[in-house]
Amino acid sequence: MSYFRQVSIREDPDELLNPENHHSTPWGGPDHGRCDKCGGSGEVRHRCLSCLELERPDPDCEACGGRAEWTDVCPTCEGDGEITRTRRRGVSVFPTAAGLRRYLADREVDPEGCAIVEVEGPVSDDRDLDADSGALLIFPREVVAVHPLELPNPR
């Protein structure tokens, strides 16, 4: 089982194997305070971008188990409507490259100077801040490959 993540081509992908880098922090957005993702309600619609890019959801998907779209506890505030814990154990990844590409395209990320790194390693028991997009946290043990980053058009 391998996982996919965006990296800068100037970074050494092997740095992902360093346990000192095995945590994740927010990418834009406020660090603390009222949760902008769920508006303070503590629940949010989850959409597994990896499965939504498939013709039908994958029942073995590690992010959603084949649910693809469902409502669950907000991963950013963990249900209390206030963001208090933004440092998570593990490195953010997607279970498919297509899911990662969709995530980046929807955020209008400029792919210039970036690549996709494919990694393997055990899944963290912590939840990614963007678990509602089908992101997972893992502890990378091996870099399998580096792929070019080409993005689909934003929806």
Please give the full DSSP string across 49-105, using - where no structure is assigned. Answer: HHHHTSSS--TT-TTTTT--EEEEE-TTTTTSSEE----EESEEEBSSHHHHHHHHH
> ∠ CA(145), CA(18), CA(107), 5° rounding?
60
- 14 vs 80, beta carbon nearer Zn ion: 80
Q: Does 74 bind Zn ion (CB under 5 A)?
A: yes
- 64 vs 93, beta carbon nearer Zn ion: 64
Q: Which of 7, 16, 49, 51 binds Zn ion (CB under 5 A)?
A: 51
Q: Does 131 bind Zn ion (CB under 5 A)?
A: no
Q: Which of 6, 24, 76, 124 binds Zn ion (CB under 5 A)?
A: 76
Q: Does 35 bind Zn ion (CB under 5 A)?
A: yes
Total chain residues near Zn ion (CB under 5 A): 12
Task: Point out which residues bind Zn ion (CB under 5 A).
Answer: 35, 37-38, 48, 50-51, 61, 63-64, 74, 76-77
